[in-house]
Amino acid sequence: MQRFKNKIALITGGTNGMGFATAQQFIQEGGKVIITGRSETTVKNALSNLGENASGIVSDAGNMKDLMRLQEEVKKHAEQIDVLFVNAGYGRFAPIEHVDENHFDELFNLLAKGPYFTVQQIVPLMKTGSSVIFNTSIATDIAMHSFSVYSAAKSAVQSFIKTFALELTEKGIRVNGISPGHIKTNIFNNTGLSAEQIEHAVQDIISTIPLKRQGEPSEIANAVLFLASDEASYIHGAEIKVDAGISVIR
Ligand SMILES: NC(=O)c1ccc[n+]([C@@H]2O[C@H](COP(=O)([O-])OP(=O)(O)OC[C@H]3O[C@@H](n4cnc5c(N)ncnc54)[C@H](OP(=O)(O)O)[C@@H]3O)[C@@H](O)[C@H]2O)c1
């Protein structure tokens, strides 16, 4: 399939995990991508794997200076963006008594403020028929221990889906989200847990997943590409759960 021939996607956090998988599939289906990441090294490494139809920008999604430069940086690579996947992020997890102001601000800057101003910056480059897709989380549906700040920040993004869908309707831009369950990515590597603790946590998590396995990043990319495609032309202001049923099956 070549659903994205002549289309350009901007994927924040496209160096790894779900963002990288989405970039790979978008290119396979005929499109070009611009990815962002936190460092020269991660961006260069991803670009060397994605090939000639990808370009990259080092931009910290939690840093207001970088966010305010994003439109100018993107314009160096493309005049128009057809698909914006607002995906960059990581988690930090702690029970309420151990959360400090830094933890709170770091996650809200990266996961709520970042997505907000990313869209504000990029919408002027988007025309009728284009599409914004946010990455939220099932942590907005289920109470998860130590996730209070992460879940609240992702819930803010859920709210953006609805208001932005309303505000961008007149521009002909569809706005939707995907809500991933437990996906096999590097997300735990930013948490400060040891490899052994991560393995333990993953095994605990798997026992709670109805399909008894973590999702693959490509399974999220499939849903993102569907929402970005013409097949989803009547889907607007929605959030698709890609979570093996964990948010509804107990
Ligand atoms: N994995 C899950 O189970 C899960 C479930 C629900 C939702 N999510 C959400 O899915 C999104 C993608 O995460 P993932 O699981 O695919 O993790 P991942 O494999 O760790 O990838 C995270 C991506 O985000 C980028 N990133 C992180 N912090 C950034 C920052 N400050 N500025 C710019 N880029 C940044 C990383 O870039 P670098 O390589 O440069 O660091 C990387 O490209 C996140 O928003 C996460 O909250 C994950």
| The amino acid at 126 | M
Backbone angles phi, psi at 155, to 5 degrees: -65, -30
- Given ligand 1 and candidates 12, 16, 188, 242, which is best to mutate, with the most ligand atoms within 8 Å of its CB? 16
Q: Is the CB of 114 under 6 A from ligand 1?
A: no
Q: Which CATH superfamily, name and number, covers 8-242?
A: NAD(P)-binding Rossmann-like Domain (3.40.50.720)
* Ligand 1 site-directed mutation target among 36, 66, 135, 147, most atoms within 8 Å of CB: 135
Q: Taking the domains of the chain in order of start, what are their residue ranges?
A: 8-242
Segment 29-65, tens digit of pLDDT: 999 999 999 999 999 999 999 999 999 999 999 999 9
Residue 67 Cβ < 6 Å to ligand 1? no
Q: Tell me how far apart the alpha carbons of residues 144 and 122 are, in angstroms, rounded to a whole number.
A: 32
Give the relative orientation of helices 64-75 and 114-122 as an angle to the nearest 10 degrees: 30
The two counts, helices (H) then strands (E), for the chain are 8, 7
Asked if pLDDT for residue 106 goes beyond 80, the answer is: yes
Reply yes or no on whether the pLDDT at 145 is more than 90. yes
- Residue 15: CB within 6 Å of ligand 1? yes
- The HSE-up count of residue 98 (CA atoms within 13 Å, CB side) is 7
Confidence (pTM): 0.98
182/92 Cα distance (integer angstroms) = 15
Q: What is the mean pLDDT of residues 227-238?
A: 98
pLDDT for the residue 189: 79
